[in-house]
Homo-oligomer: A and B are copies of this chain.
Amino acid sequence: MSSTCIDTLSAEGRREFYNSFDTVLTDCDGVLWLLNNTLPGATEVMNGFKADNKKVFFVTNNSTKSHVQFLEKFHSLGFQASANEVVSTSFLAAKYVKANLDPAKRVYVIGSPAIACELDALNVKHFGVGEDYLKTSVPTFVENIKLEPDVGAVLVGFDEHFSYPKLFRAASYLKDPSVLFVATNTDESFPVAGTNLIMPGTGSLVCAVKTCAGRDPFVVGKPSSYICNVLMESNKIDPSRTIMIGDRCNTDILLGKRCGFKTLLVLTGVNTQKNIEEWSKSDDPKLQELVPDFYAQGINSLKATFPVPL
């Protein structure tokens, strides 16, 4: 299978593309912004879709902000967004835990204050957020560690204070097979634009916990279709009239494929045109599945598909 470049479509092709969907799901980091810098055209295009009465949902695997904090970020950067249009994994994970956890039990969290905030909002008891570094030697730590008796779930998201003691506690709680194991997302890493830096993602923390716990988590973020079931439950979405826009094929594009959406990769983030060219030629169905229907240099390319210039 091959991928169609939006930037080189004919006028007819651009019209056809634009009219082929009435719901837009978009990733945020790498599509709409990099850190706090909006990418060119992002606000015009997304606000333009809404002005044209297309449904818009912002779907992010980022677990470092609460639902409310994301909404604030959208507004401060000039995006029109309402609460039910923002789907983030701190919110989704809390929702999943609330629905599946015995209310008498608590959650051990490896994650950010945003996750704590979302759990609080749903009255789910939790602990673990914040620093937990080794103050003594490992043998002394092992001798003195006390596991909490009422833990019913371990939830792993992005945690800048990830540490050996946290890993130890998570693995030990997860020894009990009745304890739920939930992860916000499994994004491996992010390039830091304009540098040689690689920023480890939640996926690398989740892998560490998986390895020592010997168990796989339930993942709420993309490409898990849980995120879509949540959307479909509460909003009328016709998959055949929906497009998923993203910068990472193994989350955004794969989610779109699994849910029967059209898929569009923008080249302002993780994956490159070279990636999709290689995967297109591959015989491996798992790599073929990562090839988007469309690709574009950036979200800005979509401007030219609007029937009335933005």
Q: Which of B145, B189, B214 contacts A212 (CB 8 A)?
A: B189
Within 8 A of B (CB), among A115-169: 131, 133-134, 137-139, 142, 145, 147, 159-164, 167-168
- Would you call B204 and A205 a contact (CB within 8 A)? no
Residues of B within 8 A of A189 (CB): 171, 211-214
- Would you call B200 and A207 a contact (CB within 8 A)? no
Residues of B within 8 A of A99 (CB): none
| A3-11, A24-32, A190-198, A227-235: which lies at the interface | A190-198
- Would you call A162 and B167 a contact (CB within 8 A)? yes
Tell me, in angstroms, the Cα distance from A208 to B204 when the chains sit together: 4
- Would you call A196 and B162 a contact (CB within 8 A)? no
- Would you call A209 and B204 a contact (CB within 8 A)? yes
Tell me, in angstroms, the Cα distance from A302 to B45 when the chains sit together: 74
Count of interface residues, chain A, beta-carbon cutoff 8 Å = 43
- Would you call B138 and A200 a contact (CB within 8 A)? no
- The listed residue with most B CB atoms (<10 A of its CB), out of A167, A175, A201, A208, is A208
Contact A168:B198 (CB < 8 A) given known A35-B139, A161-B134, A163-B162? yes
Tell me, in angstroms, the Cα distance from A35 to B176 when the chains sit together: 24
Q: Chain B residue with minimal CB distance to A141?
A: B160
Residues of B within 8 A of A162 (CB): 162-164, 167
- Would you call B142 and A192 a contact (CB within 8 A)? yes
A278 contacts B by Cβ under 8 Å? no
A102: min CB distance to chain B, Å: 19
- Would you call A171 and B198 a contact (CB within 8 A)? yes
A188 contacts B by Cβ under 8 Å? yes
Within 8 A of B (CB), among A15-35: 35
- Would you call A172 and B197 a contact (CB within 8 A)? yes
Contact A196:B163 (CB < 8 A) given known A171-B189, A208-B207? no
Residues of B within 8 A of A196 (CB): 147, 172, 175-176
Q: Given A133-B133, A189-B214, A207-B210, list of 18 further CB < 8 A pairs?
A: A138-B160, A145-B197, A147-B197, A161-B163, A162-B164, A167-B204, A168-B197, A171-B189, A171-B200, A171-B204, A175-B196, A175-B198, A198-B212, A199-B212, A200-B212, A201-B212, A203-B211, A203-B212
What are the 10 tightest A-B residue pairs by CB atom distance, in nearest-first order?
A200-B212, A204-B212, A171-B198, A208-B208, A204-B211, A189-B212, A207-B211, A207-B207, A204-B208, A167-B200
Question: A residues touching B (Cβ–Cβ < 8 Å)?
Answer: 35, 131, 133-134, 137-139, 142, 145, 147, 159-164, 167-168, 171-172, 174-176, 188-189, 192, 196-201, 203-205, 207-214
